[in-house]
Chains A and B, each alone.
Chain A
Amino acid sequence: MIKVEGIHKSFGKVHAVRGVSFDAPDGKITGLLGPNGAGKSTTLRVLYTVLRPDAGRATIDGADVVTQGLDARRRIGALPHGAGLYPHLTARENVAYYARLCGIDAASIDERVEDIIGLLEIGGFADRRTKGFSQGQRTKVALARSLVHDPQNIILDEPSNGLDVMATRSLRDLILKLKDAGRCVLFSSHVMQEVAALCDDICIIANGKVAIDDSADGIRRRTGCDDLEDAFVKAIQMVDPA
């Protein structure tokens, strides 16, 4: 369960996030939708504690991301945008490194790594060094890495970027599996169709503010647009510019 309450974040003169609030409950998929530069990544970075909010607060299962950062991180599996792997390590070693850092006890690491490799279907290339992996392979390994400690909350920043149809589809299946297992999944995207197909809740962000936070049907109703893309554009226009 992720709660975001009025967070603000500025970089110099740029006020990137201006009072964003939303909830991402367990057992649901929440989509953070918005055009490029809307403040999605900044919001997610605050949630996985690499950025500190200037104001407002956010909690992960009740753990404050600022004051209880370590606790909050224990409950998160994060896939940052463009996450990179260690090219000299095999996919399995990349995953096992994170497993060890997450404190999984030595006896069960191999088993856990094997499980996650199975779940993400990366067994075919698990023992190859990741140098030269395709974007799809890299994303899968990065995802396996961030899920290895079986986190309750999963934060994915534009996970489908650069993926082909097959990879996107298996990513979608995985996200649904995580939802069925009662996890809280929060992911960002700038593709309306992708979010609509997957999310229970959609939070549209523009200019660092929440334009609308509702289900796909709710958004259609409130914007008066049947077509989701039109609804998206209309919702963005509802936010006053910075």
Chain B
Amino acid sequence: MMRTLLTVFRKEVLDNVRDRRTLVSALIMGPLFGPMLFAFMINLSIERSLEDAERVIELPVIGAERAPNLRRYLESRNIDVVDGPADRAAALDAVANGTHDIVLVIPEEFGEQFTKAVPARVEVIADRSNTQADRLARRARTALHAYSGELASIRLSARGVSPLAMRPLNIDDVDVSTPSGRSAILLGMMSYFLIFAMLMGGMYLAIDTTAGERERGSLEPLLALPVTRNQLLLGKVAATCVFMALSLGLSLGSFYVALKFMPLDELGMTPNFGPLTVGAAFLVLAPFILLGAAVMTLVASFTKSYREAQTWLSGVLLAPTLPILIVSILTLRPRLEFMFVPSLSQHLLLVDMVKNKPLDPLHVAISVCSTLLLGGLLTWICARLYRREGLLG
């Protein structure tokens, strides 16, 4: 029994190591795609957060000459005032068609209203559906509010009223999140990338076990050999698992390296992702390997061709996101019953690890056992299906 299993296993490994498609998806696509996308997203959010405070922006203004003080104030806040379109109608057009992201309009009556100390109207024209423009508009609005607040204080003081009367409340934000905790939000996506890479690593082997062998015509002679189908299937599933484990290990490694080079400190994040966490993450995610291999083999065994199997399995690659997504949207905290849900339990445990929170041994035990049990059950079903006549198509 073991010898046959080992023979099948060794052949599958050799066969797939020589298959460029498998190698690319197992060793390159999965492990590199995740961390690269990740690095890209993190860099983008770092750029954005820095941008808001420091970068000098250009603000096209119509009628800037009517408010020289406002102009000076804006310029002191890193907002360069430039000449805007000819009139308000042109400004609306320019924003609508994207020539300008935002235009500030200072109407003719501004000076008069300002002198009379009635609210002087200014207009911020922007397209809210455009996130880039919305950020600029927010900066302009914040600056205008601040200017308005300063003027109010001055006017109150001039009338002998303390500007403090304007602030009945003094609101302070106290943030209890730790730098590791803040990183968990962003790094929470990591668990999905890891599971994705893991599945990618075994996808072509899982297809090959059934649909591939059938399409090639090598399944029938194989089944006519003096071995049991269980031995064949288990050998193939074992090889699939090894490729998945390899892919997972490489992904963890590439994440480890990528995070080292990411300026996460600038975002106030220090994820707990040292070599020890990487090792623990591998162990926590490893039970999912068997489950993933079994699910992919199962799905592939129902398909009629290699291509059909590929189509269906791309769907399977997305399935593990579902529970992660639901929990993230509802921002649910880890609970005992979540540990029975594969992919979700791995995700939650990983997030806790990255947050540097101690793991509840019971949670780990439930996650490992339930995932392994389900994986074992599905492998057994695969083996049953491998024995049916319809396997040959």
Q: Which A residues contact B (CB, under 8 angstroms)?
A: 45, 48-52, 70, 73-74, 76, 78-80, 82-89, 93, 97-98, 100-103, 129, 142, 145-146, 149
Contact = CB atoms under 8 A, between A and B. Distances in A.
A190 B18 CA distance: 38
Nearest to A142: B221
B389 A51 contact: yes
A83 B7 contact: no
Given A88-B18, A102-B226, 17 more contacts: A49-B223, A73-B227, A78-B224, A80-B221, A83-B220, A84-B216, A84-B217, A85-B218, A88-B19, A89-B11, A98-B221, A100-B3, A101-B7, A101-B227, A142-B221, A145-B221, A149-B226
3 tightest CB-CB pairs across the interface, nearest first? A84-B217, A84-B216, A88-B18
Contacts of B392: 50
Contacts of B178: none
24 contacts: A50-B220, A50-B223, A70-B227, A73-B226, A73-B227, A78-B221, A78-B224, A80-B220, A83-B221, A84-B217, A86-B218, A88-B18, A89-B14, A93-B11, A93-B14, A97-B7, A98-B221, A101-B4, A101-B225, A101-B227, A103-B4, A142-B221, A145-B221, A146-B224
A70 B221 contact: no
**Size class of the B contact interface (CB-based, 8 Å):** 20 to 34
A100 B7 CA distance: 7
Interface in B192-229: 216-218, 220-228
A102 B225 CA distance: 7
Contacts of A87: 216
Interface in B60-118: none
B226 A74 contact: yes
A100 B6 CA distance: 10
Contacts of B226: 70, 73-74, 101-103, 149
B8 interface: yes
A173 B226 CA distance: 27
B15 interface: yes
A88 B15 contact: yes
B391 to A, nearest CB: 9
Contacts of B228: 70
B217 A73 contact: no
B217 A82 contact: yes
Given A73-B226, A74-B226, A86 B221 contact: no
B4 A52 contact: no
Given A97-B7, A101-B4, A79 B225 contact: no
Contacts of B4: 101, 103
B224 A97 contact: no
A89 B15 contact: yes
Contacts of A78: 221, 224
A73 B227 CA distance: 8
Contacts of A86: 11, 15, 216, 218
Contact of A83 (B3, B14, B19, B218): B218
Contacts of A51: 389
A97 B7 CA distance: 7
Contacts of A146: 221, 224
A157 B15 CA distance: 27
A204 to B, nearest CB: 25
Nearest to B208: A86
Nearest to B223: A50
A48 B389 CA distance: 13
Contacts of B18: 88-89, 129
Given A49-B224, A89-B14, A101-B227, A83 B217 contact: yes
A129 B19 CA distance: 12
Nearest to A131: B18
Nearest to B231: A101
A48 B15 contact: no
A76 B224 CA distance: 8
A79 B221 contact: yes
A93 B13 CA distance: 13
B224 A80 contact: yes
Contacts of B223: 49-50
